[in-house]
Every structure is written in structure tokens, then in C-alpha cells.
Amino acid sequence: MLISGNFAQLGDLQQSIVQTRNGVEGEQETWRAQTNQLIEAWPDSAGLDLQSFSAAADNFGRVNGEFLQMLGAATGKANEALQAALNTASRAVNG
């Protein structure tokens, strides 16, 4: 049985996920700031509609951020587990 893995690639994937999450959070902050300005400028039903949509977007963004955080953590754990399995197999073969 052969155990192999590209640990660098998994590490890069984990970094990419973290960077994506950080980038999305930055965009959400920009969205929030801009929509808050518009909501203040639109005290009518359009402003209320935008406020409702913005709240839904915030909720989605929060859940998406949590998902990306869990995905990044799972990728890191998979990398660690693969390395541990390889080390265990190597010790068993090499005595």
C-alpha cells in the first residue's frame, strides 16, 4: 500500500481559503458602509427595502464566513492527518 500526498498543495489550499474569507469580509464591510449611507439618504420604502436586503446579505455573509473558516480548518486537519498517516506507515515499513 502506498500513501502519498502533496502537503504543500494542501497548505496552499488552506491559505487560499483563508485569503478568500478575508477578502469576502473586506467586501462585506465596504458593502455595509455604502448601503448604510444609502439607507440614510433614502428614508422612504426604497431605503427600508435596501435595509432588509442588506440584513439578509449580512446574514449570508456571516454564514459563508463560518463555512469558509470550517473548510480551511478541515483542510488543515486533513493535511495533518495525511502527514501523520505517512509518518506512521514509514515507521512501520522502516522499523
Q: For residue range 62-87, list pLDDT tens digits in order.
A: 999 999 999 999 999 999 998 898 88
Q: How far is CA 63 from the centre of its chain?
A: 10
pLDDT digits (tens, 9 = 90+) for 15-35: 999 999 999 999 999 999 999
Q: Residue 89's closest CA among 3, 5, 6?
A: 3
For residues 39-43, give the mean pLDDT: 88
The pLDDT tens digits for 47-65 are 899 999 999 999 999 999 9
If one counts every other C-beta atom within 10 angstroms of the C-beta of residue 49, the result is 12
- Its pTM stands at 0.77
Domain limits of the chain?
21-73
pLDDT at 2: 62
pLDDT score for 7: 85
Contacts of 79 (CB under 8 A, 6+ apart): 5, 7, 10, 11, 14
- Give, as one character, the DSSP assignment of residue 44: S
Q: Cα dihedral sign for 72, 16, 33, 64? A: negative
